[in-house]
Amino acid sequence: MKRYLYLTVGTIALLFAGTVYAWSILKVPLAQNFGWTVPQLTVNFTLTMSFFCLGGILGSLLNRKIGLKSTLIISAILSGLGFIFTSFLSGSSISMLYLCYGIICGLGIGIAYNNIISTVNQWFLDKKGFSSGVLLMGYGASSLVIGTIAAKAIANVNFGWRNTYLSIGIALFIVLFACAMILKTYVSDENNKILNNNTLQAKDFTLKEMLKNIEFWKALTVITFLAACGNTVISIAKDISLASGLVETLAVTMVGVLSVCNGLGRIICGLTFDKFGCKKTMIFADILTIIAGVCILTAVINSSGALCIAGLCIVGLSFGFCPTISAAFIADFFGKKYYNLNYSVFNLNLLLASIIASIESYLFAVSGGYTVPFIVLIILAIIALFTTMRIRRSF
């Protein structure tokens, strides 16, 4: 079936596009060579996420005006040039990093991400969860796969960070350009037959109608809170591990294990979504997040390494549920006709979650410990659970 070819191509494209999330690795040589501080480099990643969200909205509008192929070619050019331009930075002005990586690359990746997921999912409306899970597993695995390769390339004195950025830019352009040539937007007769026989299709909501619908805001609240919990824990996973009594090497390993669990969570979420539906899957994600928060807080208080490992694995799984639920929920509740634009707007939860995670970081600094910040995270997860229980279908 053609749709499995498109799923494969989309997953590979997102694997490369997700390189932008390997910022924790890619920023190291910039700090070492140019002396840029952690706050300065953090601003760049915030810019990247902001323009990633804007790129999703822009990409959906471009798709309507000029078509999928041209839109993905634009994303390939922007994404590739963002990395290539960054490889030539002199270090004289960090604003050039913000322009090249934060704005240009952020926009390009956002355009690609939204259009690839939206297009491929059109072919799998009978298996929305499965399709979203596979695609987002590829995107989430990028930091581990491409990030690891990039780290080794940067450390190689004969290759260095400039060639690494240059190579990523060229590879990203080639992969996204190839994706533009292969991916198709139409739904085949065969897929329509599957849909008619096996799915309850939602009413097609316009963006305006969706924004007026209370279920949209409930779901946005839920995913924002869950993603904020995941973002917060991932950013301090090593510190949590050390505070719970794990040795340095195991603490570093747990960061990688958390990423693996994140990828597994996306697949598990997809299968759960298709079998049990949206609401039960969201409730399961809420409960996982609550359990993870309690485990980690208890682990830190009692210096329990085993409980910390369990908590980090669970938070990785629950965090992996968030993007898959987002992609599948919009199609399930608000239809396929305006899916591209609706999904790009819903993805603003990424930006909102980052803001909450930043506030949590401030709480860590002010309180000097993990108790207060984690109590806040657990409360957010509990609010998400009660909000999920009140979600009702809109048709």
Phi/psi zone of residue 389: left (φ > 0), alpha (ψ -120 to 50 degrees), beta? alpha
Structural element, H or E, at residue 274 = helix 248-276
CA dihedral 385, 48, 312, 222 (to 10 degrees): 0
Q: Token pair 């292969």 is at which residue?
A: 182
> Cβ distance 197 to 363 under 8 Å?
no
pTM of this structure:
0.80
What pLDDT is recorded for position 379?
A: 95
b/e map 229-246, b = 16+ CB within 10 Å: bbbbbbbbbbebbbbbbb
The span from the CA of 352 to the CA of 343, in Å, is 15
Domains (ranges, CATH) in the chain? Answer: 2-192 (1.20.1250.20), 204-389 (1.20.1250.20)
What pLDDT is recorded for position 197?
A: 46
Q: What tens digit of pLDDT does each residue of 80-126 get?
A: 999 999 999 988 889 999 999 999 999 999 999 989 998 998 888 78
Most confident of 117-121, 137-141, 256-260, 387-391: 387-391
What pLDDT is recorded for position 171?
A: 96
What pLDDT is recorded for position 101?
A: 94
What pLDDT is recorded for position 338?
A: 87
What pLDDT is recorded for position 198?
A: 46
Q: Does the pLDDT value for residue 67 go beyond 80?
A: yes
What pLDDT is recorded for position 192?
A: 53
What pLDDT is recorded for position 91?
A: 85
Q: What tens digit of pLDDT does each residue of 12-40 get?
A: 999 999 888 788 788 889 988 998 887 78
What does pLDDT average to over the chain? 88
What pLDDT is recorded for position 186?
A: 60
The span from the CA of 319 to the CA of 313, in Å, is 10
The span from the CA of 64 to the CA of 107, in Å, is 17
What pLDDT is recorded for position 386?
A: 96
Q: What tens digit of pLDDT does each residue of 277-334 get?
A: 889 999 999 999 999 999 999 999 999 999 999 999 999 899 889 988 988 898 888 9
b/e map 145-160, b = 16+ CB within 10 Å: bbbebbbebbeeeeeb
**pLDDT category of residue 214 using cuts at 50, 70 and 90:** very high
What pLDDT is recorded for position 258?
A: 81
Q: What tens digit of pLDDT does each residue of 150-186 get?
A: 889 998 988 999 999 999 999 999 999 999 999 998 6
State what percent of residues in the chain have pLDDT above 90: 47
> Cβ distance 97 to 39 under 8 Å?
no
What pLDDT is recorded for position 97?
A: 94
What pLDDT is recorded for position 350?
A: 85
Alpha carbon distances (Å) from 358 to 166, 289, 361, 388: 31, 19, 5, 24
Between these two residues, 161 and 43, which has the higher pLDDT value?
161
Q: What tens digit of pLDDT does each residue of 239-281 get?
A: 888 888 888 888 878 877 887 888 888 889 988 988 888 899 9
